[in-house]
Structure 1
Amino acid sequence: MASTARVPRRRFTGAGAPWVPYAFVAPFVVLFLLFLVAPIGVAIVNSLFSRQSSGLGFGGSTVDFIGLANFARAFADTDFLMGFPRVLLYGVVQVPVMMAVAAAFALLFDSALVRGRRFFQFAIFLPYAVPSVIAALLWGFLYQPSVSPILQLLSGWGIDVDVLAPGTVLWSIANINLWSLIGINMIILFAALQGVPREMYEAARLDGAGELRTALQIKLPMIGPAILLTTLSSVIGTLQLFNEPQVLQSVTSNIPSDYTPNMAIYAASTLGKDPYLASAMAVILGLATLLVSLGLLAANRRTTKRASDGI
């Protein structure tokens, strides 16, 4: 008769060891230090140096410590500084529009008013899967009157629109980002709505609240952290605007090489061949992004505190 004795299972003896949590966290820490902290450190160090030539340019060159001189040069560069109000104007318009449309789609899909919800969710999310460079190339084709079917149709109706003119090219860039990013923000907000207890909706209906009132007074306040997350990431992305205007440079002359701060940094390091000045510009941009993010968080805390005090 075959033996039915059970073979004892091996147990993981390191479960209670103090090094186990660190082993799980170590991959993230290594990648975080390698790809975020280290580049920031390199940029800060490089911003304090400059390459100096000797012998009227015919001799060798040395890298010398110059302190904050690169930052003074960056603040004296009016073209670099003009990129900041440009992207801030872009963000003041683009971010609220994107968040409003994304929230409207999320609330619509969370209600019982839409049939074929999965299909429409996928259709709205799909542009996010297109890389930003490809999206800019696609829209660059649609922005050229000679080949754009949309502009040709409008021209046939007597409507001549130059979407790449100096006054409209910024909003043409904003349109590309709206098309690309509304879907991912909608998915994040919709996922947050799924975590709201359904009992709250039932209580609101018993109190006589309709769909619109429930959405504005219950759903949106309950997903406040998700709204803050998507808004903050959108603001950071606005300050780092680069791919779309860089690609559209090939189809219009109304986007100079220093149109945004990130483009000015790229131009300084490649066209100007001055990576030390570019590092100083990058540090300034990073500090500006940090200050705007902290300001947004502080404003959110004040709003939340004021709302809680009023309850």
Structure 2
Amino acid sequence: MTATETVAAERASAPAPVRPRRRRKFLGAPWILLAPFLALFVLTVLAPVILAVAQSFTRINRAGMFGEKGVTSSFAGFDNFTQALTNSNFIQAIGRVLLFGVVQVPVMTVFATVLALLLESASARWPAFFRAAYFLPYGIPGVIATILWSFLYVPGLSPLVDAGKLVGLDIDFLGPNTVLWSIANIVTWTYTGYNMLIVIAQLKSIPSDIYEAARMDGASPLRIATSIQLPLIRPALVLSLVFSIIGTLQLFVEPQVLHTVSPAIVSEYTPNLSAYTNAFAYNDYGIASAEAVIIAVAAFVLSFGFLAWTNRKGRS
């Protein structure tokens, strides 16, 4: 055999090189990690929403005076929505919360913005302490906060009412013309600190170089606030306003608690109270679900409309 043939024979008899095995990627790992969250989301958010929408198109039929002969459900179409939108109490409740939002939301946003600007100014003392103090009301449950404020509203218990009588003012915080603004006061006291922190988070993201350049140009603190800080915290203000709009339509706890001390608060004082009353007082889950769907759609339309308006205004 020649040398060439010998080398070829050795190569043919030599074992083939072992290639390293590639590890196959397990594509299902992210879904396994997300499974607990997705399960909770489906059970606590998605399923109730689907059930409410389905119930809004059904009608409960009870045989007998109290349904003792059986209860059946049937498809109602849009009858529940028609009945809800023709209910004068429900329409008045919607108008009431819209008036509440038009007044309360801007006032609360202004308070939150002013507090945030003051606490983030260079001359602020103990900002961490005051941030915690202003945020503290948000940590108090709404029921407890309303009960605490009710002692300041009820005549005979309220030092504010007694102080007003000393100067000739007869203040009725729970009257039909004032109880809505008493509720607005509780909501403002509770959520101003929360919105303040949203604005502060945006303020802290502003580069310090901008402040230094403005001070070198001789800008006063007021000029810095109006020309630099307010334009740059616009996204935080928009977010705060959207949250407040949604929260306004969900107004429930404060009027529900004050209902026990104020005859002016009826069982359908707000849209959420109306849905609650229809579901648990009248056992009419179809109407209650229709009202809940209307509230959700109204919150979406108002929030989306506000975002579209602010984006269009920001580009102009």
Q: Same fold (TM over 0.5)?
A: yes
Deviation for aligned residue 1:27? 3.2
- Matched with 1:266 is 276
- Matched with 2:78 is 68
- The CA deviation string for residues 79-122 of structure 1, in whole angstroms up to 9 with x for no partner, is 01111111011001100010100010101011022212222212
- Matched with 1:137 is 147
Alpha-carbon distance in 2 for matches of 1:58, 1:22:
47
- Matched with 2:256 is 246
What's the secondary structure of 2:176's corresponding residue? coil
Q: How high is the sequence identity, in percent, across the aligned residues?
A: 45
Structure 1 position 42 matched with structure 2 position 43 = no
Deviation for aligned residue 1:128? 0.7
1:76 is matched by which residue type in structure 2? T
Structure 1 position 33 matched with structure 2 position 33 = no
* Alignment gaps of 5+ in structure 2: 1-21
Deviates more, 1:186-195 or 1:176-185: 186-195
Match of 1:256 among 257, 266, 285: 266
Deviation for aligned residue 1:159? 2.0
What's the secondary structure of 1:251's corresponding residue? coil
What's the secondary structure of 2:74's corresponding residue? strand
Deviation for aligned residue 1:18? 2.8
Match of 2:61 among 52, 57, 62: 52
Deviation for aligned residue 1:183? 0.7
Structure 1 position 282 matched with structure 2 position 292 = yes
Matches of residues 152-167 of structure 1 in structure 2 within 5 Å? 152-167=162-177
- Matched with 1:228 is 238
Alpha-carbon distance in 1 for matches of 2:252, 2:310:
27
1:274 is matched by which residue type in structure 2? D
Structure 1 position 207 matched with structure 2 position 238 = no
Matches of residues 10-29 of structure 1 in structure 2 within 5 Å? 17-29=26-38
TM-score by length of 1: 0.90
- Structure 1 106/63 Cα, relative in aligned 2: closer, same or farther at 3 Å? same
Deviation for aligned residue 1:15? 11
- Structure 1 283/202 Cα, relative in aligned 2: closer, same or farther at 3 Å? same
TM-score by length of 2: 0.88
Alpha-carbon distance in 1 for matches of 2:145, 2:77:
41
Structure 1 position 150 matched with structure 2 position 165 = no
- Structure 1 144/55 Cα, relative in aligned 2: closer, same or farther at 3 Å? closer
What's the secondary structure of 1:115's corresponding residue? coil
Q: Which has the larger Rg? A: 2
1:169 is matched by which residue type in structure 2? V
Alpha-carbon distance in 2 for matches of 1:158, 1:192:
46
Deviation for aligned residue 1:300? 1.1
The number of residues matched between the two structures is 294
Computed over aligned residues only, the root mean square deviation of the Cα atoms, in angstroms, reads 1.9
Check whether the contact 1:14–1:20 (CA below 8 A) recurs between aligned residues: no
Alpha-carbon distance in 2 for matches of 1:301, 1:39:
32
- Matched with 1:175 is 185
What's the secondary structure of 1:282's corresponding residue? helix
- Structure 1 227/265 Cα, relative in aligned 2: closer, same or farther at 3 Å? same
2:311 is matched by which residue type in structure 1? R
Alpha-carbon distance in 2 for matches of 1:231, 1:16:
45
- The CA deviation string for residues 232-286 of structure 1, in whole angstroms up to 9 with x for no partner, is 1111000110000110011110010101000000010111111111011111111
